[in-house]
Homo-oligomer: A and B are copies of this chain.
């Protein structure tokens, strides 16, 4: 461990983002780290006030932090895509978060919507590519608003971009007991991109003889997430398929209130960013109804990423214990109360 304080940029964002981040920070403080948070006011409110989403100067400032904790961005008052593209996705792209790491794990005691599925059947990690594919934002529109309008979107995939995330996924797979890696794509329709992904997996697989590799089309994978989640250990997939399948993963693992994620720059050339998978949920914002657990688990991922493994484990354990307790009555706890309960376990 370094002796200087760890510098954390905090972007609470919109809606329930601010509520859940407050609880995440409470836990972070209680677990005892030399982490020094600085808040950044970015999101819908700032956009309305100043027209800014992510000023270049702020972006450069953020680059100097050791990590970023983000709540959620997005509000119905802002046209779709603005905050997403110019703030959230811009951070992922500028900071080269090519690994979007999303565990899909059913904690004992959590109810899954799937019947007869023991918790050990849902324990995978999705390694979603974070900087390419259809998220590149290329495409365009011609003759907008006429009968002859054409709108295009382009998926950009590079050997560089695919190989590095595939390697990361193999490393993850090697470190897990089941050592299985499944590529999820749609190689039979997206033949150019699919061929690049499949060839890359096949080639890298030769360096990991201990990892069993598998392939699944995205449509079949969506089905298997529901009918046979135990098929999956590490899933590697592109940006859009990863987006879809991790929300589905959150659903089967007890809901979006528990799903954590890390936007990782593995080489550390820029800060990694941790955020719950859920959005800003404007419909329940400000009512203390949001579950901060996803953010608290994202804080655990952040601690782990910073090398604070003991603290990370303590937060995860506190969450697991809190969840088990829910079996005996959970309804009605507010965002604060859940945060307080987990904080107490972490400190105690």
Q: How far is the CA of A193 from the CA of B160 in the complex (A)?
A: 27
Q: How far is the CA of A194 from the CA of B190 in the complex (A)?
A: 20
Instruction: Decide yes or no: A244 and B218 within 8 Å by CB, A80-B187, A193-B151 being known contacts.
Output: yes
Q: How far is the CA of A89 from the CA of B190 in the complex (A)?
A: 12
Expressed in whole angstroms, the minimum distance between the Cβ of A85 and any Cβ of chain B is 7
Range for the number of chain A residues in contact with chain B: 35 or more
Which residues, 137 to 196 on A, are CB-close (under 8 Å) to B?
Answer: 137, 139-141, 143, 145-160, 186-196
How many monomers of this chain does the complex have?
A: 2
What are 17 of the A-B contact pairs (CB < 8 Å)? A80-B198, A81-B187, A85-B189, A113-B115, A113-B226, A139-B190, A145-B199, A148-B158, A150-B159, A153-B190, A218-B243, A219-B248, A222-B222, A222-B251, A223-B247, A223-B248, A224-B251
Q: Which of B152, B188, B243 contacts A81 (CB 8 A)?
A: B188
Q: Is A322 an interface residue (CB 8 A)?
A: no
Q: How far is the CA of A134 from the CA of B185 in the complex (A)?
A: 13
Which positions in A face B, CB cutoff 8 Å?
Answer: 74, 80-81, 84-85, 89, 111-117, 134-135, 137, 139-141, 143, 145-160, 186-196, 198-199, 218-220, 222-227, 240, 243-248, 250-252, 255-256, 279
Instruction: Decide yes or no: A151 and B81 within 8 Å by CB, A223-B250, A244-B222 being known contacts.
Output: no
